[in-house]
Chain A
Amino acid sequence: MAEPEITPELMRISWGPQHPMSGQTRILLDTDGEKVHRIIADLGFTHRGIEKVLENRSLIGGIVPIDRMAMVDTANISIGYVTAAEKALGLEVPERANWIRSLVCEMSRINSHLYAFGLQAEATGYFPAVFLWTTIDREILLDLFEELTGARWSFNFFLPGGVYKDFPEGFADRVVEGVNYLRNRFKDYWNAMIENPMFEMRCDNVAILEPKDALRLGATGPVLRGSGIPVDMRNEEPYAAYADLDWEIITEDACDVMARTKVRFHEIGQSLNMMEQIAKEIPEGEIKTRFSPFARAPEGEHISRVENGRGEMSTHLWTNGTPNPYRVKILPPSLRNMYVFERLAELSHITVADIPVVINSIDPWYLDADR
């Protein structure tokens, strides 16, 4: 990106892409002393042209590249694409497959939120140990992923019309065991982080995003719900088994960094409840509808909307009677939230030291913003 001009009384700091907290992006900060006047996001360091790649794959072949959009949250990414492909091919999903999908999606959401939560702890500068705790606890989920899908990351588990495999023997019990272990750990997290005065000092009343601004700037996911607006795709357009599960939309009214962190925290608890419910109440039955991998989808267009860990992901799929999709437009959550981040410096008082805390409360995943 060509750098925009700067007024002489401000100083420009280039933050990233090599900075330890920045991720794969560069952020330009126009500062006057401690205060940040303007934030400019320079995206595109990890652009791989996934939309173009998908045009050159068959519908089912697209499942592999799309997983690479967000490695920490693969299940929620691929369910968006797979749901759109299902609509295009006109496939029905058996009930048991829907429940297994919800289980994997919720595990993926916890994985993603734990990562965000750990980074948030690290970004405040006081709690590097918490990042290690969350990393160790994610092992529980990765082991469950491995047992169910055969891979710890990027498991390509969802197929149009169902899922790849059924539960192995005794898997439901191990899910319940994992849930119980993680529930106990969250008490530690709550005491160590949320109720810690040091953490409150860094997060309370920082980077306030009023509800009207959150809507106007297109915020999504925990950022939008942290501003008190109850929008969640699992409720808006229930996919997988979410219409049958017991859950509710979590919102916080404080609109600050702490509110977004709390939304993620409570969502982890709720996802654990859903995991337990699925492990105990999953119905028996088939797990996939048979279809040809070379199936040609009739001409048409289909949109799926799913809730990722970071917010709404919409997939717009055009098909034209060939095995490949004509065009796939992906609207990722992180791109929307990065725009909110760019505008935050104008809406609230942000200092240079706040930047790592604020960007981790937005929790962007640059690989899905860049595609």
Chain B
Amino acid sequence: MSRKISLPDFISSFNEAQKEIVESVDVFEDTRASIKAKKDKIIEAAEVIRDDYGFVIPIGGGAIDYPEENRMEMNYYLNNPDSDFIIIYRIPVDREKPVLPSMTQVWEAMSFHERETHEMFGIDFEGHPNLVPLLLPPDWKGGYPLRKDFKGEGVE
């Protein structure tokens, strides 16, 4: 099978072409590129990644909590059938006011992953078609289980 896109080519072309929408592109482990978009260009950058660079396969999404730094981070994992690397599209989240635009308008299949992140981290995804709990019971009132300050003891 022929591989069309390699990571160094992608990084150089992406950095050049997308200066207006991209804040930073980092590489780790040689086959992962993590992309941060500018704050007001989140959806635009996602559409560029999907349409111009062919990252059409949504692998999934998930968040991570940093309570000491008072922030969270939402990661979307994306694959292109013709590339030998994956993209992690990172969006910083304010821990006090965790609201993000929903990526389901770009990658429809992020729906389940955003529903899960919503119940586990308390992040609200604006524009999600059906933001109801996915895994937790409907009457769950124990807080956000995957946040670091959740201890998992004595939940009713």
Question: B-contacting residues of A (Cβ < 8 Å)?
Answer: 1-2, 4, 43-44, 47, 49, 51-52, 87, 215-218, 229-231, 235-237, 249, 300-303, 305, 312, 314, 316, 318, 326-327, 329, 331, 335-336, 338-340, 370-371
Sort A-B residue pairs by CB-CB distance and give the 5 closest, nearest first: A218-B109, A44-B135, A331-B60, A329-B62, A47-B135
Inter-chain contacts of A300 with B (CB < 8 A): 28
User: Could you list 28 A-B pairs, sorted by A, with CB under 8 Å?
Assistant: A1-B133, A2-B132, A44-B133, A47-B135, A47-B136, A49-B145, A49-B152, A51-B146, A52-B146, A215-B57, A215-B81, A216-B56, A216-B109, A218-B109, A229-B81, A231-B81, A303-B32, A314-B59, A327-B64, A331-B59, A335-B60, A336-B109, A338-B112, A339-B109, A339-B111, A339-B112, A370-B135, A371-B135
Q: Is B31 an interface residue (CB 8 A)?
A: yes
Q: Could you tell me if A230 and B130 are in contact, using CB atoms closer than 8 angstroms?
A: no
Which residue, A2, A216, A326, has most C-beta atoms of chain B within 10 A?
Answer: A216
Determine the residue in chain B with the shortest Cβ distance to A47.
Answer: B135
Considering the chains assembled together, what is the distance between the CA atoms of A319 and B48 in angstroms?
Answer: 31
Q: How far is the CB of A271 from chain B (nearest CB, A)?
A: 20
Q: Could you tell me if A52 and B145 are in contact, using CB atoms closer than 8 angstroms?
A: yes
Determine the residue in chain B with the shortest Cβ distance to A87.
Answer: B29
Q: Could you tell me if B60 and A230 are in contact, using CB atoms closer than 8 angstroms?
A: no
Question: A-contacting residues of B (Cβ < 8 Å)?
Answer: 1, 28-29, 31-32, 56-60, 62, 64-65, 75, 77, 79, 81, 84, 86, 88, 107-109, 111-113, 130, 132-138, 145-146, 150, 152
Inter-chain contacts of B132 with A (CB < 8 A): 1-2
Q: How far is the CB of B70 from chain A (nearest CB, A)?
A: 16
Q: How far is the CB of B129 from chain A (nearest CB, A)?
A: 10
Q: How far is the CB of A91 from chain B (nearest CB, A)?
A: 15
Considering the chains assembled together, what is the distance between the CA atoms of A68 and B136 in angstroms?
Answer: 19
Contact A302 to B136, CB < 8 A, known contacts A215-B81, A331-B60: no
Inter-chain contacts of B138 with A (CB < 8 A): 1-2
Contact of A305 (CB < 8 Å), options: B28, B86, B130: B86
Q: Could you tell me if B135 and A43 are in contact, using CB atoms closer than 8 angstroms?
A: yes
Inter-chain contacts of A87 with B (CB < 8 A): 29
Inter-chain contacts of B113 with A (CB < 8 A): 331, 335
Considering the chains assembled together, what is the distance between the CA atoms of A177 and B88 in angstroms?
Answer: 45
Q: How far is the CB of B128 from chain A (nearest CB, A)?
A: 13
Q: Could you tell me if A217 and B109 are in contact, using CB atoms closer than 8 angstroms?
A: yes
Which residue, A2, A47, A218, has most C-beta atoms of chain B within 10 A?
Answer: A218
Inter-chain contacts of B108 with A (CB < 8 A): 216-217
Contact of A318 (CB < 8 Å), options: B32, B64, B79: B64
Considering the chains assembled together, what is the distance between the CA atoms of A205 and B106 in angstroms?
Answer: 30
Contact A314 to B81, CB < 8 A, known contacts A52-B146, A218-B109, A329-B62: no
Considering the chains assembled together, what is the distance between the CA atoms of A229 and B130 in angstroms?
Answer: 29
Q: Could you tell me if B31 and A237 are in contact, using CB atoms closer than 8 angstroms?
A: yes
